Structure 1
Amino acid sequence: MRVALLTWAYPPEKSGLTRAAREIAQSLATAGHDVTVFTMDRREDGRDGRVAVIGCGLRDGSAAARLRKIAAIGHVVAPLALRRAVMREHRRDPFDVVEATNWYAPGLAIALAGPAPLITRNSTPAATSAATVTSLRDRIDRWAAMLAERVSARRSKALISNTQLHGEKIAALYGVAPPGSDGQHAVIGLSLPPEIVARGTAAAYPDDAPDDDAIRLLFVGRDEHRKGFDALIMALKILSRRADAGMRDFRLTIVGVHADDLKPLPSSARARLHCHHRVDEPLLHDLMADAHVIVAPSRYESFGLVYQEAMMFGRPVVACAEDPSARLFIGESGAGLLAKRCTGDDLATQIQALIEDPSLRRHYAAASRRASGMFTRETLATQTIAAYRTAIGSNGASSTASSSGRPAPADIAS
């Protein structure tokens, strides 16, 4: 199959969305499909192994770039730019399907006007991606983003959600069928890159630190309400006071936040904190291998790649029960502890239990290791192609695959 994949950004840019896009693209390419990624984070074209990468970024100072900054109206600029780029490639060699994330609806124009069936893979929706919006301008902008997502999802030929619970949330939010109800909404988990699988599998759990050594905690994520960063910082303050009073000492490493942004912290908390604004993949793997505990207190994740990465490294996880994915992957597997609410007090209580009890750390480390490896690139590709075939089948007999001279999708082996 010939596949177009729309994304806001693609590696080396780092975020959950970029990692997901690369896993989808590489899994399909490895399975023998022709994949072209269209990304808004650059203007130049390139390749990522077997995957073609086409830059669709807007030129600084252009009319489109200025228009994109206007509330509500700006949300249509990127979908139109992506559709123009897809159309150029489609005229040269037609695509069978186009896949896009739901987040801010980059596939909106293709959902409305083609040139190929759109499949929407649901990430975190705009409605839950940030703290409560208060200004009139931001409320209008959020409303437009949510409307674009809803229209794009409802005009898609098929939907993909990362978990059943996430799919049900998407169904309620967008007014679409939940997973499993009509065959048009699939549940497909994301995979991890082979280099993380290899490094994590080989990473032994750190030896128990002597009593005078600090327990190493790691947080990977942005300074966002959804990521529970506010609760993390409050927990850091609480635990620092307790460590000053005699609790086992600890160190917290944060990846994704600049140290200058945390200067107002009390001195005892700053002394136990180390920040990396950006790291390359080898260093990130080193930090995960070195950590005793991964702290991931998100309020909501569509899937939670950080949970999967922590389990691949066999590290205990402290997460938040407010997140359905944390309840599924951490709670049900026993890979760590869940704070009842995403607050500093609840989070500190669970972290402290692992700081002070080495046998508890070993117990959850072993459970985390057992729970790893649930999702592979092979299963991701196989299940994704099945969803694509459903989408093309719902589009009628005149699919682009037939008109382009390639075999119809039902005749292509997965």
Structure 2
Amino acid sequence: MRIGLLTWAYPPEKSGLSRAAREITQALAQAGHDVRVFTMDRRMRERDGAVEVIGCGLRDGSLAARMRKVAGAGHVVGPLAFLRAVRAEHARRPFDVIEATNWYAPALAIALFGPAPLATRNSTPAATSAATATSLRDRFDRRVGMAFERWSARRGALISNTALHAEKIAALYGVPGPGADHAVIGLSLPPGIAARGQAAAYPTATPVELLFVGRDEHRKGFDALLGALAILGEEAQAGTLDAFRLTIVGVTDDALAGLPPSARAHARCFHRVDEQTLHDLMATAHVVVAPSRYESFGLVYQEAMMFGRPVVACAEDPSARLFIGESGAGLLAATCSGPDLADPLRRLIRDPGARAHFAAASRAASGQFTRATLATQTVAAYRTATGSNGSSNRVSSSGRPAPADIAS
């Protein structure tokens, strides 16, 4: 198939969305498909192995770049930029299908105007971050983004990473739940991570190393992480807890400014690291801390399990309950709060036997998702989007929404 994939960012930019985009494109390319990526984080055209990467980034200072900062209206700029780029490529070498993330609906214009059928792969929706929008301007902007997500996702085939996530998306967007038009497909991990993780022995050195990878945002449970660090730091200073260190990847030292010295002494931050450094940090970690309130899939869970590292996550996240709780790959905090997160961390810091037990369970639960299965299942979902498998389809053969769908 000739496939286009829309993403706001693509590696080397590091985020869950960019890493997922690369896994999808590389899996499809390795399966023999013609894959072109459209991304907003650059303006040049380049290659990533067999995958063509087409930059759609806006020129600094341009009218479009300034418009992106306008509440509500700014959400139209990206979809229109993607539409122009996709149409130009489609005229040169036509696409069979376009895939896009749901996150702020980059494919909205393509959903409305073609030129090819659309498949939407659902990441964490904007609605899950609504609690962090406090100003009137931000609340309005978020609501427009949520409406655009819903509008775009109602056209074409749908893909979610887990059945629980598919059910959440169905309730939020008013779309079908898991089934023929809403596939459930887990994401894979890069072969390099798999090889490094499988070869990484569990560390025995002290102090106990804790690792957090993520942004300093409410959904990621960063507030709970800092709360737990303050509690554990005070206990370590009092001599009632063994030595430990928390490494935080994805934030600057400024994010720790409000911590007391007893906590700050046990933490270090890396704003950005390359893949090799991230693998090194994972290999030296005794425990991976991932207290997200919600993840559509949770790549960090899968990476930690590939390295055979116990995971401390949050029971509020359905993916954590599925991948960590059911497999026994770690411990779940009852709520995403400092005291509740401190409890399982305290246990693992104190008890090397518990760390070894959960490390073995984590290793046993790893490797559930491969690029081969990702490609096979994704192409099946694309067949639904294009109507070539004989199932019902909400996109016309021209790639435009069917008239009845526009009316609805």
Change (3 A) 1:158 1:60: same
The AA in structure 2 aligned to 1:386 is A
Q: CA RMSD in A?
A: 1.1
Within 5 Å, which residues of 2 pair with 1:178-197? 178-180=177-179, 183-197=180-194
How far has the Cα of 1:66 moved from its partner? 0.9
1:241 and 2:234 equivalent?
yes
What SS is found at the alignment partner of 2:132? coil
Are 1:216 and 1:291, in contact at CA under 8 Å, matched by a contact in 2?
yes
Aligned partner of 1:115 in structure 2 is 115
The 2-side partners of 1:63 and 1:259 are apart by 35
The 2-side partners of 1:235 and 1:125 are apart by 27
The 2-side partners of 1:122 and 1:283 are apart by 29
Aligned partner of 1:164 in structure 2 is 163
2:214 to 210, 214, 221: 221
What SS is found at the alignment partner of 1:69? coil
1:70 and 2:64 equivalent?
no
Are 2:160 and 2:182, in contact at CA under 8 Å, matched by a contact in 1?
yes
Are 2:386 and 2:397, in contact at CA under 8 Å, matched by a contact in 1?
no
- Identity percentage of aligned residues: 75
After the TM superposition, which of the residue ranges 259-268 and 94-103 deviates more from structure 2? 259-268
Deviations 1:97-149 (A, max 9, x none): 00000000000000001000010000000001353322111111011000000
The 2-side partners of 1:192 and 1:130 are apart by 29
1:205 and 2:198 equivalent?
no
How far has the Cα of 1:243 moved from its partner? 1.0
After the TM superposition, which of the residue ranges 244-253 and 295-304 deviates more from structure 2? 244-253
1:284 and 2:281 equivalent?
no
What SS is found at the alignment partner of 2:131? coil
Aligned partner of 1:174 in structure 2 is 173
Are 2:35 and 2:52, in contact at CA under 8 Å, matched by a contact in 1?
yes
The 2-side partners of 1:151 and 1:289 are apart by 43
| Displaced runs of 4 or more, over 4 A | 395-400
Change (3 A) 1:28 1:348: same
What SS is found at the alignment partner of 1:23? helix
| TM-score normalised by the chain length of structure 2 | 0.95
How far has the Cα of 1:261 moved from its partner? 2.8
1:314 to 308, 313, 322: 308
Are 2:126 and 2:146, in contact at CA under 8 Å, matched by a contact in 1?
yes
The 2-side partners of 1:262 and 1:29 are apart by 42
Aligned partner of 1:361 in structure 2 is 355
Aligned partner of 1:16 in structure 2 is 16
Long gaps (5+) in structure 2: 388-392, 400-408
Change (3 A) 1:267 1:63: same
Within 5 Å, which residues of 2 pair with 1:7-406? 7-129=7-129, 131-155=131-155, 157-180=156-179, 183-207=180-204, 209=205, 213-246=206-239, 247-393=241-387, 394=393, 398=397
What SS is found at the alignment partner of 1:64? helix
The AA in structure 2 aligned to 1:160 is I
How far has the Cα of 1:384 moved from its partner? 0.1
| TM-score normalised by the chain length of structure 1 | 0.93
How far has the Cα of 1:399 moved from its partner? 6.6
The 1-side partners of 2:54 and 2:130 are apart by 29
The AA in structure 2 aligned to 1:120 is T
The 2-side partners of 1:134 and 1:65 are apart by 24
The 1-side partners of 2:111 and 2:170 are apart by 18
The AA in structure 2 aligned to 1:14 is K
Aligned partner of 2:403 in structure 1 is none
The AA in structure 1 aligned to 2:208 is I
Are 2:163 and 2:178, in contact at CA under 8 Å, matched by a contact in 1?
yes
The 2-side partners of 1:397 and 1:8 are apart by 26
Are 1:130 and 1:225, in contact at CA under 8 Å, matched by a contact in 2?
no
What SS is found at the alignment partner of 1:131? helix
The 1-side partners of 2:352 and 2:69 are apart by 51
What SS is found at the alignment partner of 1:100? strand
The 1-side partners of 2:65 and 2:182 are apart by 34
The 2-side partners of 1:398 and 1:359 are apart by 60
The 2-side partners of 1:20 and 1:129 are apart by 20
Long gaps (5+) in structure 1: 401-414
Deviations 1:341-392 (A, max 9, x none): 0000000001000000111000000000000000000000000000000111
The 2-side partners of 1:153 and 1:397 are apart by 15
Are 1:334 and 1:364, in contact at CA under 8 Å, matched by a contact in 2?
yes
Are 1:163 and 1:303, in contact at CA under 8 Å, matched by a contact in 2?
yes
Are 1:307 and 1:329, in contact at CA under 8 Å, matched by a contact in 2?
yes
Are 1:392 and 1:399, in contact at CA under 8 Å, matched by a contact in 2?
no
The 2-side partners of 1:369 and 1:85 are apart by 43
Are 2:104 and 2:149, in contact at CA under 8 Å, matched by a contact in 1?
yes
After the TM superposition, which of the residue ranges 385-394 and 320-329 deviates more from structure 2? 385-394
Are 2:72 and 2:141, in contact at CA under 8 Å, matched by a contact in 1?
yes
The 1-side partners of 2:394 and 2:229 are apart by 53
Change (3 A) 1:240 1:397: closer
What SS is found at the alignment partner of 1:145? helix
Change (3 A) 1:240 1:16: same
